Every structure is written in structure tokens, then in C-alpha cells.
Amino acid sequence: MIWDWSFTLEILPVLAHAAIVSVEATLIGFVLAATLGLVLAVVRIAVPWTGWTISVLVELIRSTPLLIQIFFIYFVFPKFGLVLDAFTAGVLAIGIHYAAYCSEVYRAGFDNIHRGQWEASIALNLSAWTTFRDIIIPQAIPPIVPALGNYLVALFKETPLLSAIAVMELMQTAKIIGSDTFRYTEPITLVGLFFLAMSLVSAALIRALERLLNRRTMR
């Protein structure tokens, strides 16, 4: 028989447990990406001479594979005295990688703020910090939430790469089950179905969010 249901039921709890690790990696990685990306985008505006440096940095990060960046942080950082466990190194790499993408999204959001908003802030003598916190960010973020959401989903789908440095997330767990039992069909298919389900649900959520935001801006 190609598909063994009793085997499926047996491995489901193990995979469910691993799924928690995948989701944790996703959430921590995304918080890192969203925060660092925002910092990059803000610094770029607040300190104009950094613009070129940040562009090059973003291009460098986006031009090289995440897998190699994961290896780099996991294997090269210890040579400089920074030893990280596999989960931390992997999540850090994912966070930095997606920060580069997120910073471009924020940048687009800031570019869409009308110049008059900056000018009114100057005329009211607001500090740069207050201008960002109270005027620019509250207007710039809502329209880009769907784009950030898409990156959250993309990031989630890259967490299987953590298996390359033996983080016990879904893919690694499925592989171990496979090599222990010589049955790959069920574990790997289940992992695929899990990602598919999560992606379809998130896509629907993002679409709903988009509609909600459109309605709000119509006000």
C-alpha cells in the first residue's frame, strides 16, 4: 500500500510538535525582520548619507542565497567568538534576510506619504522622532500590511532550510522519520500539506485584511 494510515496517525503527534518549532522560528524571524527592516528604512530617511550604504547592503543580502547566509552565521560567526546554537543562528539569518526585503516595503510606504505631511511637521516644529512616531509611521504602515503579510508567508515557507543545520523543525523531523523507517511518503507529504494549508489560510486572511484596509482608507 502506498499510503499507510496507521503510520500516519503514529507520526502525526511528532510532526505536530515539530510544527511548533517551525511556527516559533517564523514568528521570531518575522519580528526581527519587521523591526530591523523598519530601522533600515527610517535610518535611510533620517540620515540621508546612509542611503547608498543601505542600498548596497540590501542588494548584497538579497543577491545571495538564504541557505548560504544560514551557513555563514552558523559556521563563520563562531570564528569571531560568537557561538550560536542552530535555532538562534538560523532564525537570525532568516530575520536579517527578510529585513532586507521588508525595508524596501517600508520604503515604498514612506515614499507614498505626501510631502505636505513632512512640511506640516516642520512647521509645527515636531522633532524627527515625533514626526516618524506620530505622523509618518501611522500613515505609512497600514497600506503596506498586506505586503508585509506576504513576506511573513514567504518567510514561513523558508523555515525548512533550517533543517540544513539540523534544527528540529518540520522538515528535519520528517527526514529523520523517513531515514528511521524508510517511509518518506507520509512524513514529507504531510509536511507539504501542512504548508499548503497554512499558505491558503494566510492568503485568505491577507485578502480579507486588504479589503478591510481599503474600506478604512475610503473613510
Partner 1 sequence: MTEQPMVRFENVSKRYGALTVLDELNLEIARGEKVSVIGPSGSGKTTVLRMLMTLETINDGVIWVEGEPLTHMKKNGKLVPADLAHIRRIRAKIGMVFQSFNLFPHMTAMANCIEAPMTVLGMKRTEAEARAAELLDLVGLSQKKDHYPSQLSGGQQQRVAIARALAMRPKIMLFDEVTSALDPELVGEVLQVIRQIGREHDLTMLMVTHQMGFAKEFSDRVCFFYQGKICEQGPPGELFGAPKNERTRQFLHAVLEAG
Partner 2 sequence: MGIGTLVAMLAAALAVIGVLATQQAYSLFLPGLLQGAVLTIEIAILGSLLAVIMGVLAALARLYGPAPLRWLATVYVEIFRGTSALVQLFWLFFVLPQFGVTLNAFLVAVVALGLNVGAYGSEVVRGAILSVARGQWEACTALNMSRAQMLRRVILPQAVVAMIPPWGNLFIELLKSTSLVSLITLADLAFKAQQMNQNTFKTIPIFTLVLLMYLVMSLVLTIGMRLLERRASAGLARGKAA
Q: Work out whether 89 is an interface residue with partner 2 (CB under 8 A).
A: no
Question: Cβ closer to partner 1: 27 or 137?
Answer: 137
Q: Least distance from C-beta 35 to partner 1, angstroms?
A: 22
- The yes or no reply on residue 14 touching partner 2 (CB under 8 A) is no
Classify burial at 34, counting beta carbons within 10 Å of its beta carbon; exposed 0-12, middle 13-18, buried 19 or more: buried
Which one of 6, 79, 115, 125 is in contact with partner 2 (CB under 8 A)?
A: 79
Q: Which spans of this chain sit near partner 1 (rule: CB under 8 A)?
A: 114, 116-117, 119-120, 122-127, 130, 134-135, 138-139, 219
Query: Which residue matches cell numbers 509618518?
Result: 136
C-alpha cell at position 53: 550604504
| Dihedral sign (CA 162, 168, 170, 174) | positive
Residue 118 contacts partner 2 per CB under 8 A: no
Residue 161 found at the interface with partner 2 (CB under 8 A) = yes
| Alpha-carbon gap, residue 216 to 138, rounded angstroms | 13
- Could you say whether residue 56 binds partner 2 (CB under 8 A)? yes
Question: What does the DSSP 8-state code read for residue 3?
Answer: S
Instruction: Work out the burial of residue 159: count CB atoms within 10 Å of its CB; fewer than 13 is exposed, 13-18 middle, 19 or more buried.
Output: buried
**Closest distance of CB 212 from partner 1, Å:** 16
- Cβ distance to partner 1 smaller for residue 27 or 213: 213
Taking the C-alpha atoms of residue 9 and residue 92, their distance in angstroms, rounded to an integer, is 34
Q: Does 164 bind partner 2 (CB under 8 A)?
A: yes
Query: How far is Cα 187 from Cα 149, in angstroms, rounded to an integer?
Result: 28
Q: Residue 123 Cβ, how far from partner 2 at the closest point, in Å?
A: 33
* Contact mark string toward partner 2, 189..218, x via CB under 8 A: x-xx--xx--xx--x---------------
